Structure 1
Amino acid sequence: MSTLGRYELLRPLARGGMAEVYLARRRVAGVEKRLVIKRLRKDRSRDPRFLELFMREAQLSMSLVQQNIVPVFDFGRIGDDVFLAMEHIDGKDLGSSLAKDRGSGMSPLLAAFVAVECCQALDHAHRRPENVIHRDVTTRNVLISWDGEVKLADFGIAAVVGDASGALGTPGYMAPEQARAEPTDARVDIYALGIVLWESVIGEHVRPSTDRAATIAAAKSGELPPIDPELIPEGLATIIRHATANDPGERYSSARNMAEALDNFLLSERARDPGPAPAQRLAEWLKQRWADARDELSAPMPAAAGAVVSFLDDGVDKIGGSRTMRSIAETAADEGELDTPPPHQIIEDAPADRDSRPIPVVTMQT
C-alpha cells in the first residue's frame, strides 16, 4: 500500500491518458475516511499544458459547491505528484447501471427526476461568475447513491464561456457545434443532458458507440434517430426534442428552464402515479439493477477498518453506515475497464499555441 501525503492509496480504480484514479483513505481520530484520489500521471505532470488542464479542473471543481455536484475538497502537489481528492459516492453511475440490462431503462418518471437533479447541478455551474460549462455530461458522469441521491461528476474538461472551443468530450453526447470544434456555450450541456434523459428511458445508446467514425460523424451532423413513442410519452419526448435541437437557439436557454419543463412533467406523472417519492423509487431501481451485488452491499466492514464516512472536508463528516462504499471508478474496474478508456471518447491535447509557461502549484506539507 502506497501513500500520498496524508492519504493511503488502497488500490487503482482507473487510468486514462491524463490521470490515474485510486480508492484511498485517511484515518482521523480513529475514524477511517474513504475518498477518491485523482493523480496526474507522472509523465504528464512535467508538461505545462497538462499541468494547466489539471489545475483548471481542480480550481473549477473546488469552486462548485452544490448538493448535486460531486465535491472536490483537496488539491496539492507532493514532489512530482499532483493530485486532487474528491468525495467517494456510495452508489453506482447511471451508465453502468443501464448497461446491466441493455434495452431496459428506467421509467419516464425516474428518468425525468434524474435529469432535473442534473439540471440543478448545471444551473449552479452555469450561473457561476465564470459561467462554467461541463462539456462532458454523460450517463457515466451521473452518479446515483443507494439512497437515491443524484450527483454530477467529472468537470475534468469543463471550460468557461469565451474559452470553450475544441472537440473535447464524448461524441455520443456532443452537440453538433461542440463536435465541429466551434465556439460553444452552456447549451451544449443542455443538449448532452437531453441525450442522457433519452438513454435513461430506452436503456441503450442513442448514437452507436461501437463505430467510432460513425459516432463522430453523427455528432457533427446532429443526426439522431426518431423517438420511440411506445417507450417515451409525448410530454417527455417534447422535452428531449427541445433539448437536443441542432440549432442552439432552439434549445432551452438555460438549465433552469429545462428543469421547469421537467418539473411540470413530473407533476403530471405523480398525479397519475402517486406512489413513493422519486428518490425512494430511484434507490429501489438501483438496488434491483445491482441485485447480484446485494450481499456485498449489506456486508459489514471489517472490524479493524472502523466506521466508514464520506466527507466534504476535514470538518464536515457524514456517516455512511456499514455498507461497502462504491464509486463510479470502482464500477469501471468491476466491468474490466481498468486502463481502458471509453471507446467513443475523444479528449484532445491542449492547443499547441497555449501559453506553456510553468504554473505555480500549491505544495502540501506531508
Structure 2
Amino acid sequence: MSGATGAAPSDNPQDGERGELSIPSRRPRRLRTTPAMRNFTAETDLNPRSFVLPMFVADGIAEPKPISSLPGVVQHTTDSLLRAVEEALAAGVGSIDLFGVPQEQTKDALGSAGIDPHGVLNRALADVRQRFGDDIVLMADTCLDEFTDHGHCGVLGQDRYGNQIVDNDATLTQYADMAVAQARAGAHVVSPSGMMDGQVRVIREALDAAGYADVSIMAYSAKYASAFYGPFREAVGSSLVGDRKTYQQDPRNRRESLLETELDVAEGADFVMVKPAMPYLDVLREVAAASPVPVAAYQVSGEYAMISAAAANGWIDGDAAILESLTSIRRAGADIVLTYWATHAAKLLRQGR
C-alpha cells in the first residue's frame, strides 16, 4: 500500500508489520523491462519468408469476387491474381498456394478440369510462373474436390457391400495426372490434400517419370475432418454433400498423425503439414518433434473468420490477435505457416509490430 505519504507501490517490499520478506534473486521480469529487451530475448520470431498465402482464382468472373465468410479474401481474376502476387512478393511473403474455382458446367465425377492444361488452375499457375519465375515459391493444391460435381476429394466407387465410398486407389491415378499437369504448368510444389493412402508415393513416382524430379511435394499429412473449414467451402464453390470423415482424420486422434507423417516422409514428402493449425497445436508440436523434414501448418478459413469477426465487432485488437495467433503456430513448431493474412501480417511486421 502507498500509505499516508502517497508513495508509489513498491515491487520490492521490505520490513513491515508482516516481517521481512525474502525476495528471490532470480527475477524473470528483468528480461521484460523494455521493448528492446523483449525483442532481444524472444524465443520465437515471425518472418514473412515462412508465410504461404492461399489464393483462389476463378473462371467466368470479370472482376474479383468477395467471399462473404472470409472478409478481405476474394476469388481472383487472372489480372487481380497477378497484382496480389506482386503485392505479396513485395511484402516479403515466401510462397503462394493456388486453388482453382471452375465453372459449374466443367465439373464432372472425375475432376477432369483439374487435370486439363487449359483449366483455370493450370492456366493460373502458368501465368504466375511466367510473370514471377523463381522469385516466389509457387504451390498448387493437388486435390479434386474443387473440380468434382460431388465435391469429394476423390473418385467415387462402391465397397463390397454396395455402399458409396471414395475409391482410394482410383483416386491415386487422378492425383498423379494432376500433379504432373501442375508441374508442367510451372508449380514448384504440389500439395496433395486429399488424405488418400499412398498418394505421396504415387505422385513422386509420376513426377519423376515425367521429368519433374525437382518439383517438391508438400503432404497434408495430418488433415483432420474439421468444422473449421466452413468458409473455404464457399471460397471454392464446393459441391459437397455429406462429409469427408472416411478419409480425413478423426479429431479425437493424436497418434494417428504421427503414423501419417511417418508414412508420407517414407514415401518421399519434402514437407509435411498439420491442418487446421490452432485447434491442433498439440499435434503440431508432436509432428514437429518427430519430422525430419520441414513442417507446415495451415491457419484455416474458420480460424481466419473467427478472428476477423471478433475484430470487426471491436471485441479484440485484430492486428495484435493476428500476430499472436501466427506466433502460437510458429512456437508450436511450424517452420511454414499458410495463412490468408500472409501479406497483411508481413506488412505489420515491417512496421515493427
TM value normalised by structure 2: 0.28
Q: Which has the higher contact order (CA 8 A, sep 6+)?
A: 1
Which structure has the larger Rg over C-alpha atoms?
2
